[in-house]
């Protein structure tokens, strides 16, 4: 496993604290409660999950920038029905016939990638208000069959013939072995994620970000987990392996979205200015490694060190993947950095609706930093690993 340094490619971004009237700023962020596939939202299609969140984000802005039209909706989605989910959801949300909609597929990084696409349009001056995020309904995703074949295929390829193309579970197992991540550390991280989410929910940490849906106000999955219980679970993907159902994220349904507009139109609203974003490739045999080069590129473009970042939200697809990434970046989420890295839990406990989770982590940053009253200049980082060997990362600054 190679450990590359910061790539040299790409223009430098205006660093933190640099005035930029065209800089994209996230000024609202919402999500649904997250449900385990086949349970809470088993009958809701992906557009039905997304529409209430889009409407809630638009409603959050109404009293501040009322009358300003939404120029576009950009949504990440991985396994939906096609047909431009973003457009369907925008219409269902009542945003108007004029809002076109764009659906983005970068697999598990789709929600965060959609926010970066929206930010690019805002920075370029091609849009002034974009709602962006992601949605996934694993429960209602269609089964696809190739013409002439009787049985549906399991998934589309992440890489072409001749390249490694592992499923995510075996890929996490391979990354754990390559990075030396033990079963004990994975189980400890999973137990910590569940305990943190339960504590956060008890103190109301999710209340302002969640849009009630289907009578639910809370995420379905968080529950007390004892280390002894986790230790008894068998390996899920390889005999004698370390990755189990307990230290892996569940297949889930949910949606999340944010509003992005330029700094000059912020009208005094507090928010998160996008300092730098990046999508990079890595070895498709170890897709969980992707956040490492992505984070390094973002920090290099912004000209800051990770020690300046107060809040980190990584998509917790697998405990092994989070620990491999944080180890490589010099973070210790089970020790000194427990209050920096996913301190309210993440996808391991809340759930992992693939196309949405990248937007969920930005929503979590918004709550932690903006709703939490962090001072201007505070930095937050969001990152996700992607099947096929990609990493997505974004650095934000409180304004």
Would you give per-residue pLDDT tens digits along the chain (399 residues)?
Answer: 544 444 444 455 667 877 788 999 999 999 999 999 999 999 999 999 999 999 999 999 988 877 789 999 999 999 999 999 999 999 999 999 999 999 999 999 999 999 999 999 999 999 999 999 999 999 999 999 999 999 999 889 999 999 999 999 999 999 999 999 999 999 999 999 999 999 999 999 999 999 999 999 999 999 998 889 999 999 999 999 999 999 999 999 999 999 999 999 998 999 999 999 999 999 999 999 999 999 999 999 999 999 999 999 999 999 999 999 999 999 999 999 999 999 999 999 999 999 999 999 999 999 999 999 999 999 999 999 999 999 999 999 999
- Active-site residue (options: 78, 108, 282, 342): 108
- Residue 195, class by beta-carbon neighbours within 10 Å (0-12 exposed, 13-18 middle, 19+ buried)? middle
**pTM (2 decimals)?**
0.95
Q: Which residues contact 6 (CB under 8 A, 6 or more apart)?
A: 296, 297, 299, 300
> If phi over 0 gives left and psi between -120 and 50 gives alpha, with beta otherwise, what is residue 222?
beta
Instruction: Give CA–CA dist 170/285, Å, rounded.
Output: 10
Sign, CA torsion 300/303/309/311: negative
Q: Which CATH class is domain 24-139+248-398?
A: alpha beta
For this structure, is 342 an active site residue?
Answer: no
Instruction: Give CA–CA dist 175/387, Å, rounded.
Output: 13
For this structure, is 64 an active site residue?
Answer: no
pLDDT value of position 65? 78
- If you ran DSSP here, which 8-state letter would residue 368 be given? I
Residue length of the chain: 399
Locate the DSSP E strands across 168-290.
252-262, 272-281
Within 107-182, residue ranges assigned H as helices are: 110-123, 168-179
The two structure tokens encoding residue 200: 């956060």
- Cα distances (Å, whole numbers) of residue 333 to 57, 108, 186, 221, 348: 31, 22, 11, 21, 14
* Cross-strand bridge partners of residue 144: none
The two structure tokens encoding residue 222: 């968080």
């Amino acid at each position: 496993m190679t450990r590359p340094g910061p790539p040299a490619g790409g223009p430098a971004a205006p660093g933190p604290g640099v005035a930029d009237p065209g800089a994209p700023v996230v000024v609202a962020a919402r999500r649904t409660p997250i449900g385990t596939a086949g349970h809470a939202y088993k009958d809701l299609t992906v557009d039905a999950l997304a529409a209430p969140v889009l409407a809630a984000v638009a409603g959050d802005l109404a009293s501040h920038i009322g009358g300003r039209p939404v120029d576009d909706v950009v949504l990440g989605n991985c396994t939906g029905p096609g047909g431009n989910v973003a457009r369907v959801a925008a219409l269902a949300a009542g945003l108007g016939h004029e809002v076109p909609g764009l659906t983005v597929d970068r697999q598990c990084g789709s929600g965060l990638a959609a926010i970066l696409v929206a930010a690019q349009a805002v920075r370029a001056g091609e849009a002034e208000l974009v709602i962006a995020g992601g949605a996934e309904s694993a429960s209602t995703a269609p089964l696809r069959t190739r013409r002439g074949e009787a049985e549906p295929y399991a998934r589309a390829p992440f890489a072409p013939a001749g390249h490694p193309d592992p499923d995510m579970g075996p890929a996490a197992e391979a990354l754990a072995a390559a990075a030396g991540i033990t079963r004990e550390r994975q189980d400890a991280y999973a137990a910590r994620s569940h305990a943190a989410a339960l504590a956060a929910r008890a103190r109301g940490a999710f209340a302002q970000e969640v849009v009630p849906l289907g009578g639910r106000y809370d995420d379905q999955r968080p529950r007390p987990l004892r280390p002894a219980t986790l230790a008894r679970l068998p390996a899920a993907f390889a005999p004698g392996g370390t990755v189990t159902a307990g230290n892996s994220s569940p297949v889930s349904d949910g949606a999340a979205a944010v509003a992005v507009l330029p700094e000059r139109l912020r009208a005094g609203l507090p928010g998160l200015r996008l300092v730098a974003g990046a999508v990079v490739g890595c070895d498709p045999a170890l897709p969980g490694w992707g956040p490492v080069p992505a984070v390094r590129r973002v920090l290099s473009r912004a000209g800051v060190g990770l020690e300046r970042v107060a809040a980190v939200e990584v998509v917790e697809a697998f405990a092994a993947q989070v620990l491999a990434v944080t180890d490589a970046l010099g973070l210790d989420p089970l020790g000194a950095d427990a209050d920096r890295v996913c301190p309210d839990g993440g996808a391991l406990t809340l759930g992992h609706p693939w196309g949405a989770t990248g937007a969920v982590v930005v929503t979590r940053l918004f709550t932690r930093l903006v709703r939490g009253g962090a001072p201007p200049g505070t930095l937050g980082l969001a990152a996700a690993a992607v099947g096929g060997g990609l990493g997505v990362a974004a650095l934000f600054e409180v304004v």
